[in-house]
Amino acid sequence: MKQKNKFFILFRCLSFLKPYLKFTVSAIFTSVSARIIAIIIPLLIKTIIDRGIKSGNLELIIFNSSFLVGLSLIESFFNFLTGRWTEKASQNVAYDIRNKLHEKVHKLSFSFHDQTESGQILTRSIRDVDIIRFLTGRSFIRLLEILVLVIGIITVMMIKLNKLLALSVVLIIPIIAFNAFKFGRQFRPMSMKIREKEEDLTTVLEQNLRGSRIVKAFGMEEQEINKFNRYNNELLELEIKSERLRARFLPLMNFLINFSSLLILVFGGYFVILKKITIGELVAFTSYIALLQLPLRRFGMIMSFITQAAASGERIFEILDLDIDIKEKKDAIDLKNVKGELELKNVTFSYFTDFHVLENVSFKVNPGEIIAILGITGSGKTSIINLIPRFYEPKEGEILIDGINIKDLKIRSLRSNIGLVLQETLLFASTIRENILFGVENYNESDLIHASKIANVHDFISDFPEGYDTVVGEKGITLSGGQKQRIAIARAILKNPKILILDDATSSVDTETESMIQKSLNKLMKNRTCIVIAQRLSTVRLADKVLVMDNGKIVDYAEKTGNLSCHEILMGRSNLYKEIFYNQLFN
């Protein structure tokens, strides 16, 4: 994404406060009110000293002191309300941004996930969002408080106290502001680099946790530890550089604040001796300087947080502003009364380059037919099944279901009518019941058990002490490959789709289990349009049609005729089919 103006990014971040305007406005009111009270208090102290203590007026001292205590209590109460409302608004902002990020990530096509590491999304969803939360909460309010204090105190000093002393403070503040601006300008690009390194580190950690068994199996623990240390060291170096930058600017700002205090004491004391100001006025001046010290010290830190927020906002908007490749038309329709006719017309497709993984592919499957797709690795089989549910968009050509272009259909309606069992089975870290019911809205227990029996999983599930409520590990790690595959098949059966896509659904099971699942699949495939990526030729024997793919093209096609199966037809004329057959037979 082209880098945008920092102030534009900050404005976009603050725009998330709009739904919580009542909390933000209330927090601004109480914050400004508290700062106004803080500005009034030194004037009361001046009155107590000059008109009470100096003249011995005990009644005035008691009255103003009581008033002072009352104002302090009100100020504390306003500060409490400011903190509460600020946090309520900023926490809701973080909640909204995380939801928007999560929603956008789900809406983006597979091409986004193919190019984006999960660590990047995790870092942006947690660390970057939290930095923006701080901007829309404390940083924003603190900056407003500093502005009110500086303007208010200088105004009071100039009008109510001594203009010459006030001038010494006025001259220091622009220098502090200039250094804070200079600090922020240098800190922003460094913040971007730190966030990027955090993404890299998170990705390495996530991959190592996910692939811990592979790491241990190959004895790569030491190498992965060294790899993590390398990324960690790079992050450490950047963090040290950022702290050096802070160390250069923040002490300078503290020195300037302390120097202004020194000026007040020296010149103020001199003016008291000359009787140009009173003791009460000098105390008021020193009180105002003390009141400014903490906010001005915070100013440098707030500027660093604002700079980080601009960097974090840029990274978050980079995702939120991405175009969605797979777009649904405004007048898209639901797919109703599905028969299951599927047709590809002159489909050409490529991923991220000009190289076509599919080129001018055309075929038709009638309702209830089974079509098997064969080919060596990289021939384009998986690309075909990824296009049918619109995981990707073809570059040319069209895909029709019941004569309707899938681009004219609502995406949810399209995918709800397609059952999918992939070669790489994914189960969630949840119960077996929830995994089978994933994507199914209405069901009863008998449907669940019936689907499980067809997929041949009911018996082994029943053997678990908690049955269908057994929790499987992350990605179903506690189950065997065959068990996971059969649960995925049960999930597809329960969905009861008219179109079924099987990406070599029996590849992860042994011969005996394959035989049992194949019998179940025979029942499942009846009256459904089935697209099967077949690595095992036992699947081909069931097919009404067979496509043989090579280099993204259909190089041979067979259709069951009379007593001749597709296998027999292709064995008689396709050299590539024979090669695939004999490779599987003898391997």
Tell whether the model's pLDDT for residue 529 goes beyond 70. Answer: yes
- Domain locations in the chain as residue ranges: 6-320, 335-417+501-510+536-587
Token code pair at residue 31: 């914050």
The answer on pLDDT for 78 being more than 90 is yes
> What angle (nearest 5°) sits at the alpha carbon of residue 104, between those of residues 308 and 332?
155
What length is written for the chain?
Answer: 587
Q: What's the rounded Cα separation, in Å, for the pair 250 and 263?
A: 20
Q: Do 277 and 267 contact (CB within 8 A), yes or no? A: no
Whether residue 467 has pLDDT greater than 50: yes
User: Average pLDDT, stretch 410-416?
Assistant: 88
* Burial per residue of 525-562, b for 16 or more beta-carbon CB atoms within 10 angstroms, e otherwise: beebbbbbbbbebebbbbbbbbbbbeebebebbbebee
Task: Judge if pTM exceeds 0.85.
Answer: no
φ and ψ at residue 444, rounded to 5 degrees: -130, 170
DSSP 49: I
Q: Which of 494, 491, 365, 375 is nearest to 432 (CA)?
A: 491
| 136: nearest Cα among 302, 300, 16, 310 | 16
List the structure tokens of 393: 């968009």
pLDDT band at 3 (very low <50, low <70, confident <90, very high): very low
Q: What tokens were used for 249?
A: 């600017």
Rounded to whole angstroms, the Cα distance separating 192 from 309 reads 10
**Short-list 130, 109, 57, CA closest to 387:** 109
Strand, helix or coil for residue 24: helix
Helix segments in 15-128, DSSP class H = 21-47, 58-107, 110-115, 118-123
pLDDT at site 307: 80
The pLDDT > 90 percentage for the chain reads 10
Q: Which of 131-145, 227-241, 282-296 has the lowest mean pLDDT?
A: 282-296
Structure tokens at 408: 């004219």
Greater confidence (200 vs 75) lies with 75
Residue 511: band (very low, low, confident or very high) from pLDDT cuts 50, 70, 90:
low
Whether 465 shows a pLDDT value over 80: the answer reads yes
Q: Which residue has the tokens 């049955």?
A: 467
- Chain mean pLDDT for the chain: 81
CA distance 454 to 519: 9
CATH number 1.20.1560.10 given to 6-320:
yes
Query: For the residues 225-252, what does the mean pLDDT come to?
Result: 81
Residue 427 to residues 161, 432, 436, 437, 439, Cα–Cα distance (Å): 73, 9, 9, 11, 13
The token duo for 438 is 């994933």
For the cut 80, the answer to whether the pLDDT of residue 548 exceeds it is: yes
Distance CA(181)–CA(307), nearest Å, equals 10
Decide: 345 and 407 in contact? Cβ < 8 Å: no
Token pair 């390495």 is at which residue?
A: 204
Residue range 143-163: mean pLDDT, rounded: 79
Q: How confident is the model at residue 1 (pLDDT cuts 50, 70, 90)?
A: very low
**DSSP bridge partners of 559:** 545
- Using the predicted structure, report yes or no on whether residue 523 has a pLDDT greater than 80: no
The answer to whether residue 340 scores a pLDDT higher than 50 is yes
Residue 442 has pLDDT above 80, yes or no: no
Tell me the two tokens of residue 374.
Answer: 């064969």
Of 10-24, 39-53, 493-507, where does mean pLDDT reach its minimum? Answer: 493-507
32-46, 53-67, 149-163: least confidently modelled range? 149-163
Q: What is the pLDDT of residues 369-381, one digit of tens each?
A: 889 898 888 888 8
Q: With a cut of 70, say whether residue 506 has pLDDT above it.
A: no
Of residues 463 and 480, the one with the higher pLDDT is 463
pLDDT at 210 over 70: no
What count of other Cβ atoms lies within 10 Å of the Cβ of residue 442? 5
User: Half-sphere exposure (CA, 13 Å, Cβ side) for 64?
Assistant: 19
Distance, CA of 473 to chain centre: 23
State the Cα–Cα distance between residues 543 and 393, nearest whole angstrom.
27
Q: φ, ψ for residue 379 (rounded to 5)?
A: -80, -15
Helix 481-495, helix 511-525: angle, nearest 10: 10
Cβ(90)–Cβ(24) below 8 Å: no
The predicted model gives 167-181 an average pLDDT of 72
- How far separated are the first and last CA of the chain, in Å rounded? 49
DSSP-derived letter for residue 418 is E
Backbone angle region of 275, left / alpha / beta, with phi > 0 → left and psi within -120 to 50 → alpha = left
Q: Is the pLDDT reported for residue 508 higher than 70?
A: no
Q: Are 472 and 427 in contact (CB under 8 A)?
A: yes
How do beta strands 370-375 and 545-550 pair? parallel
Angle of CA points 98, 100, 103, to nearest 5°: 105
Residue 399: band (very low, low, confident or very high) from pLDDT cuts 50, 70, 90: very high
Say what the pLDDT of residue 2 is: 44
Give tens-digit pLDDT for 250-289.
777 777 777 777 777 787 788 788 888 788 888 887 888 7
State residue 553 phi and psi, 5-degree precision: -125, 155
Model confidence over 184-206: pLDDT tens digits?
667 667 777 787 787 777 777 77
What the block records as the tokens of 398 is 């069209």
Q: Does domain 335-417+501-510+536-587 have CATH number 3.40.50.300?
A: yes
Average pLDDT over residues 390-405: 90
Give the range among 244-258, 397-411, 431-445 with minimum mean pLDDT: 244-258
Question: CA nearest 531: which of 568, 579, 492?
Answer: 492
- Which of the listed ranges 202-211, 321-330, 518-527 does the model predict with the highest average pLDDT? 321-330
Residue-level pLDDT at 510? 63
